[in-house]
């Protein structure tokens, strides 16, 4: 038997709006209207401000550890805008705040979460997302499960799940990709390749030239887009969702972007990242190119920008006020939310708050319960 | 749109309805499990079974025999060898209204799914501020199955019962297996249901009718006043054998089958200890920080003054499960060791 090629593949990279704000008009057809870009750009400015203020809140001791989203807003907004609000479902990691806000999550919830309050994860019924997920990669399996439920229910809905380049080294990623493709579920795997898994650069994390090619092993369409280009991100995500909605199964999108800030407020990237690399990526900041594009269309100006920045300040001030104005959680909550119905022994613990010894006799706590001394 | 998730009104569970254990409808433990799952699946379309070999092969241990024929491939689902994967899928399905039963061929294999089953499932309700429960049942074989070697002979109850947010069920006989599994499937919290390969062929009368056994209620298998023998799962049988031998010497003991570890019916243990003043806990897990340790701690906390002898434990030896037949037998709790422990407690 002669040798023959049994499989060949290529990975495409899509860019529609380049670093200088120049648009490829033919590729941009049927993507975002000028008005939509202006709207999304305003969101970008507002949530960039939110992100920077969140960082300061942590530094001044008003919030716990926070992972900045800075630099990755185009990836979040372009993909979030492609998903149908109220229909599709987002299963996030923690670096796509803007997508969640587009889908109706109240921004103070994210601050509440990072202030260490579980109620920040009480997603309202009319918002289609799961709480942000801190363990790396575990949410991709949940996304696959939710998408599978949609398929079983024959609902024309899709799931977009977010994760970073680092998460593709987890077993969960591979198991989710395998299940999603074999079950042909309507799920878009949206990888924000921000080049760094904390201090480990992409090329140390993996030997593959792209993250997208990992999809090939699962028989799943995989592609790469410029993650700082909302047009490309939107187009890729929308096309993937359209295909999924028609029963075409999952897609993997690698959005090439960059984490302009530290991993979290507990990190100092200056210790391991080359300043020149950061400078080069700063020039590719999505804010710069989208502003240039809008200015070339006569839809943006210095005056407009100043107005939006002032508006952002007001909005974010209000968000902080809301988050900080919420009454501290009751210690009883930690017991109430552990089981659907509180077991007797936990109830005693909750009511006494004086013991953490599960078996302690209620009589020893000084608390009379209907349960104590019945025998 | 009609979907499999249309709201379903389920009849309320009547825990007081407990049909007799006596009768001649003898079926195997595995059939009792199948009956429990099938009854719940017929009633509630949200329930499905997923795992390795559960469909086409009819279950690695034939627990799901015939279920693919009855319920179809949409509800009896074969998976790739991907425990973390299908555990996570099941978690999501549970969060969004389905009622998954996930079969681990062995609980030993659940270790590769640890993050999903310990770090996600039991914390989902808590971390979502009470919003998303995770009504899912994980079930499979637990304990030394008979020369399966150290990596395939896990008793996970010692490890997993340390985690808040899960319920842990460990039946010792077909009657309880059916009633407890039905309760598990109907429960709104995650349930770990521990079976034993060594008991799947055990036969006993199991009523054809439906019944549910409440969690957190131990069963007094045998009565006596000399000592309290506490156990759960397969070692309950060793306790009953030991109790029979002790009775020949005039030592009558209480044998309590806990049936669920979380919640733990410590009240029944205390009640018995206040009568016998002695306790021996028999546990097929390793001794350190085991369920036996926990039972004894709680007894000391609540009934210290009632004890006439220090509490005793019969656990497996504190070593990896041996492969050789004779060594595996020696390593596990057995009637000889239980008899010796009771005698030590009683004769003091």
Distance between CA atoms of residues A168 and B129, nearest Å:
29
Contacts of A182 in chain B (CB under 8 A): 80
Say if residue B4's pLDDT is above 70. Answer: no
Q: Could you tell me the domains of chain A?
A: 13-325 (3.40.50.970), 330-375 (no CATH)
Q: Between A289 and A366, whose confidence is greater?
A: A289
Smallest CA–CA distance, residue A350 to chain B, in Å, is 14
A279 at interface of B, judged by CB pairs closer than 8 A: no
Average of pLDDT values for B256-268?
97
B188–A172 C-beta distance less than 8 A: no
Cα separation, A192 vs A177, whole angstroms: 16
User: For residue A365, is pLDDT > 60?
Assistant: no
CA separation for the pair A13, A27 (Å, rounded): 12
pLDDT for the residue numbered A347 = 85
pLDDT, tens only, B96-129: 889 999 999 999 999 999 999 999 999 999 998 8
Query: CA B276, CA B222: separation in Å to the nearest integer?
Result: 13
Please judge whether B131 and A334 are an interchain contact, meaning their C-beta atoms are less than 8 angstroms apart.
no
Give the active site residue among A13, A59, A272, A373: A272
Average pLDDT of every residue of chain A: 92
* pLDDT tens digits, one per residue of A130-185: 999 888 889 999 999 999 989 988 999 999 999 999 999 999 999 999 999 999 99
CB within 8 A of B331, min separation 6: which ones?
Answer: B144, B316, B317, B319, B321, B322
pLDDT for residue A373 is more than 50: no
Residue A354: the pLDDT is 58
Question: By CA distance, what is B269's nearest residue in A?
Answer: A375
Among residues 33-92 of chain B, which lie with CB inside 8 Å of chain A? 74, 79-80, 82, 84-92
Name which of A146, A112, A152 is nearest A129 in CA terms.
Answer: A146
B293/A contact by beta carbon, under 8 A: no
Supply the DSSP symbol for A129.
Answer: B
Nearest Cα of chain A lies from the Cα of B231 at a distance, in angstroms, of 18
Residue B14 — very low, low, confident or very high, per pLDDT cuts 50/70/90? very high
Q: Which of A98, A66, A242 is nearest to A156 (CA)?
A: A242
pLDDT of residue A228: 98
The mean pLDDT of A219-240, rounded to a whole number, is: 98
- pLDDT > 70 fraction of chain A, expressed in percent and rounded: 94
pTM score, whole prediction: 0.88
| Pair of tokens at residue A238 | 């929308």
Instruction: Give the three-class secondary structure for B18.
Output: coil
Mark yes or no for CB contact A145/B90 under 8 Å: yes
Count of beta carbons in the 10 Å neighbourhood of residue B236: 26
Which pLDDT score, from 0 to 100, does residue A153 have?
86
Size of interface A-B (CB pairs under 8 A): 149
Q: Sign of the C-alpha dihedral, residues B39, B43, B49, B54? A: positive
Chain B from 201 to 240: CB within 8 A of any A CB = 216
∠ Cα B87 B89 B93 (to 5°)? 115
A113 catalytic, yes or no? no
Q: Which residue has the tokens 């220090």?
A: B310
- Over the stretch A310-332, which tens digit does the pLDDT of each residue have? 999 999 999 999 999 999 888 88
Helix, strand or coil, per DSSP, at residue A32: coil
Interface test with B, best of A88, A145, A360 (most B CBs within 10 A): A145
CA-CA distance, A60 to A75, in Å (whole number)?
29
- Predicted local distance difference test score (pLDDT) of residue A362: 53
Count of beta carbons in the 10 Å neighbourhood of residue A285: 19
**Is A144–B127 a contact, with Cβ atoms under 8 angstroms apart?**
no
ipTM: 0.80
| In chain B, alpha helices (H) | 29-43, 67-71, 83-95, 114, 124-127, 157-160, 174-186, 235-248, 266-276, 291-303, 325-331, 335-347
Residue A183: closest C-alpha in chain B = B79
A119: closest chain B residue by CA: B129
Both tokens of B178, joined, read 């059916």
pLDDT at A375: 30
pLDDT > 90 in chain A, percent: 84
| Catalytic-role residue among B40, B83, B157, B195 | B83
**pLDDT for B194-224, tens place per residue?**
999 999 999 999 999 999 999 999 999 999 9
Strands (E), A46-96: 89-91
Structure tokens at B65: 């025999």
- pLDDT-derived band of residue B1, with 50, 70 and 90 as boundaries? very low
Identify all chain B residues contacting A156, using CB atoms and an 8 Å cutoff.
none
Cα–Cα distance between A368 and A199 in angstroms, integer?
55
Domain ranges of chain B: 26-205, 219-347
pLDDT band (50, 70, 90) for residue A368: very low
Cβ contact (<8 Å) for B84 and A141?
A: yes
Rounded CA gap, A220 and B213, in Å?
A: 46
Give the per-residue pLDDT at A357.
55
Query: Are the beta carbons of B89 and A144 separated by less than 8 Å?
Result: yes
Other CB atoms within a 10 A radius of the CB of residue A182 amount to 15
- A259 is an active site residue: yes
Percent of chain B with pLDDT over 90: 89
* pLDDT tens digits, one per residue of A88-105: 999 999 999 999 999 999
What's the DSSP call for residue B173?
Answer: S
Backbone angles phi, psi at B265, to 5 degrees: -85, 70
Q: Summarize the confidence of residues B217-246 as an average pLDDT.
A: 98
According to the model, what pLDDT value does residue A363 have?
56
pLDDT tens for each residue of A171-227: 999 999 999 999 999 999 999 999 999 999 999 999 999 999 999 999 999 999 999
Average the pLDDT over A16-22 and give the result: 97
The pLDDT score that the predictor gives to residue A217 is: 97
Query: Chain B interface, mutation test: which of A340, A352, A360, A374, most B Cβ atoms within 10 Å?
Result: A340
Q: What pLDDT, on a 0 to 100 scale, did the predictor assign at position B7?
A: 66
* pLDDT of A370: 46
Confirm whether A150 is a catalytic residue.
no
Residue with tokens 């696959």: A144
Provide the percentage of residues in chain B whose pLDDT is more than 70.
98
pLDDT tens per residue, range B141-173? 999 888 888 899 999 999 999 999 999 999 999
Residues of chain B positioned with their CB less than 8 A from the CB of A175 = 82, 84-85, 88
Q: Which residues contact A280 (CB under 8 A, 6 or more apart)?
A: none
CB A235 within 8 A of CB A248: no
pLDDT digits (tens, 9 = 90+) for B88-100: 999 999 998 899 9
Confidence of residue A364 (pLDDT cuts 50, 70, 90): low
Q: Which CATH class is domain B26-205?
A: alpha beta
pLDDT of residue A358: 47
Give the residue on B whose Cα is nearest the Cα of A177.
Answer: B85
- Calculate how close chain A gets to B89, using CA atoms only, in Å: 4
Q: How far apart are CA A36 and CA A33, in angstroms?
A: 5
Of B85, B274, B297, which is closest to A178 when you measure between CB atoms? B85
A219 φ/ψ angles, rounded to the nearest 5 degrees:
65, 30
pLDDT at B2 over 80: no
Mean pLDDT of B296-308: 94
Query: What is the bridge-based pairing of β-strands B99-106 and B167-169?
Result: unpaired
Q: What is the pLDDT of residue A361?
A: 54
**In terms of CATH architecture, what is B219-347?**
3-Layer(aba) Sandwich (3.40)
| List A263, A289, A290, A291, catalytic entry | A263
Residue B124 exposure: Cα atoms within 13 Å on the Cβ side: 29
**Contacts for B215 with CB less than 8 Å, ≥ 6 apart:** B167, B169, B180, B183, B187, B259, B260, B263
Average pLDDT rounded to a whole number, residues A271-293: 97
What pLDDT is recorded for position A350?
A: 83
Chain A contact for B93 (CB, 8 A cutoff): yes
pLDDT, tens digit (0-9, with 9 covering 90-100), for A332-356: 888 888 899 998 878 887 887 755 5
pLDDT of amino acid A351? 82
CB atoms within 10 A of CB A65: 13
Contacts of A325 (CB under 8 A, 6+ apart): none
When pLDDT is averaged across residues B44-50 and rounded to a whole number, the result is: 96
Which of B90, B131, B133 lies closest to A123 in CB terms? B131
Please tell me the distance from the alpha carbon of residue B78 to that of residue B60, in angstroms, as a whole number: 11
What are the chain A neighbours of B95 within 8 Å (beta carbons)?
A: 130, 142, 145-146
Query: In whole angstroms, what is the distance from residue A30 CA to residue A239 CA?
Result: 11
pLDDT at B228: 98
Residue A134 touches partner B, C-beta closer than 8 Å: no
């Amino acid at each position: 038997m002669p040798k023959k090629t049994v499989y060949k593949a290529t990975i495409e990279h899509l860019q529609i709006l380049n670093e200088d704000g120049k648009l490829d008009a033919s590729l941009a057809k049927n993507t975002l209207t000028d008005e939509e870009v202006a709207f999304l750009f305003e969101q970008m400015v507002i949530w960039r401000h939110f992100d920077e203020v969140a960082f300061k809140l942590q530094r001044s001791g008003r919030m716990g550890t926070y992972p900045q989203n800075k630099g990755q807003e185009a990836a979040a907004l372009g993909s979030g805008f492609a998903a149908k609000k109220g229909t599709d479902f987002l299963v996030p990691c923690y670096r796509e705040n803007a997508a969640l806000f587009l889908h109706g999550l109240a921004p103070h919830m994210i601050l509440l979460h990072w202030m260490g309050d579980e109620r920040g994860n009480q997603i309202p019924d009319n918002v289609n997302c799961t709480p942000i997920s801190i363990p790396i990669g575990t949410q991709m399996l949940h996304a696959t499960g939710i998408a599978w439920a949609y398929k079983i229910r024959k609902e024309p809905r899709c799931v977009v799940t977010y994760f970073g380049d680092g998460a593709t080294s987890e077993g969960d990623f591979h198991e989710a990709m395998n299940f999603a493709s074999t079950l042909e579920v309507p799920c878009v795997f949206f990888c924000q390749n921000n080049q760094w898994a904390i201090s480990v650069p992409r090329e140390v994390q993996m030997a593959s030239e792209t993250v997208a090619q990992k999809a090939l092993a699962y028989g799943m369409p995989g592609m790469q887009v410029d993650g700082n280009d909302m047009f490309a991100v939107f187009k890729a995500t929308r096309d993937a969702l359209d295909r999924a909605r028609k029963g075409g199964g999952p897609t993997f999108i690698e959005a090439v972007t960059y984490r302009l800030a530290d991993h979290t407020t507990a990190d100092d990237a200056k210790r391991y990242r080359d300043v020149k690399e950061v400078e080069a990526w700063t020039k590719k900041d999505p804010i710069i190119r989208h502003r240039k594009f809008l200015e070339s269309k006569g839809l943006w100006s210095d005056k407009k920008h100043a107005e939006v920045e002032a508006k952002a300040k007001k909005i974010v001030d209000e968000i902080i006020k809301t988050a900080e104005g919420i009454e501290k959680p009751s210690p009883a909550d930690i017991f109430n939310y552990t089981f659907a119905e509180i077991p007797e022994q936990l109830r005693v613990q909750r009511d006494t708050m004086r013991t953490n010894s599960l078996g302690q006799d209620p009589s020893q706590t000084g608390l009379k319960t209907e349960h104590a001394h019945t025998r | 749109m009609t979907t499999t998730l249309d709201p379903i009104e389920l009849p309320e569970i009547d825990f007081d309805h407990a049909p007799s254990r006596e009768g001649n409808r003898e079926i195997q433990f595995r059939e009792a499990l199948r009956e429990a799952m099938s009854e719940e699946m017929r009633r509630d379309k949200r329930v499905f079974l997923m795992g390795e070999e559960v469909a086409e092969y009819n279950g690695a241990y034939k627990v799901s025999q015939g279920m693919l024929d009855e319920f179809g491939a949409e509800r009896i689902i074969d998976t790739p060898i991907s425990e973390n994967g299908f555990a996570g899928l099941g978690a999501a399905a549970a969060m969004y209204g389905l009622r998954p039963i996930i079969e681990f061929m062995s609980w030993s294999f659940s270790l590769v799914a640890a993050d999903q089953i310990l770090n996600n499932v039991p914390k989902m309700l808590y971390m979502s501020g009470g919003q998303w429960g995770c009504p899912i049942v994980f079930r499979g074989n637990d304990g030394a199955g008979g020369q399966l070697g150290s990596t395939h002979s896990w008793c996970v109850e010692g490890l997993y019962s340390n985690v808040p947010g899960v319920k842990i069920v460990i039946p010792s006989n077909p009657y309880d297996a059916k009633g407890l599994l039905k309760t598990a499937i109907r429960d709104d919290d995650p349930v770990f249901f521990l079976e034993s390969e060594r008991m799947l062929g055990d036969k006993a009368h199991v009523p054809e009718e439906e019944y549910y056994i409440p969690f957190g209620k131990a069963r007094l298998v045998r009565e006596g006043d000399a000592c309290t023998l506490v156990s759960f799962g397969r070692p309950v049988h060793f306790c009953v054998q030991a109790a029979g031998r002790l009775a020949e010497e005039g030592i009558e003991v209480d044998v309590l089958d806990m049936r669920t570890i979380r919640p733990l019916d410590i009240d029944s243990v205390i009640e018995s200890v206040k009568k016998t003043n002695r306790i021996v806990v028999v546990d097929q897990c390793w001794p350190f920080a085991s369920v036996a340790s926990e039972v004894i701690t709680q007894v000391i906390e609540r009934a210290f003054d009632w004890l006439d002898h220090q509490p005793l434990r019969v656990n497996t030896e504190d070593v990896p499960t041996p492969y050789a037949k004779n060594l595996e037998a020696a390593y596990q709790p057995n009637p000889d060791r239980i008899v010796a422990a009771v005698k030590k407690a009683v004769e003091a």
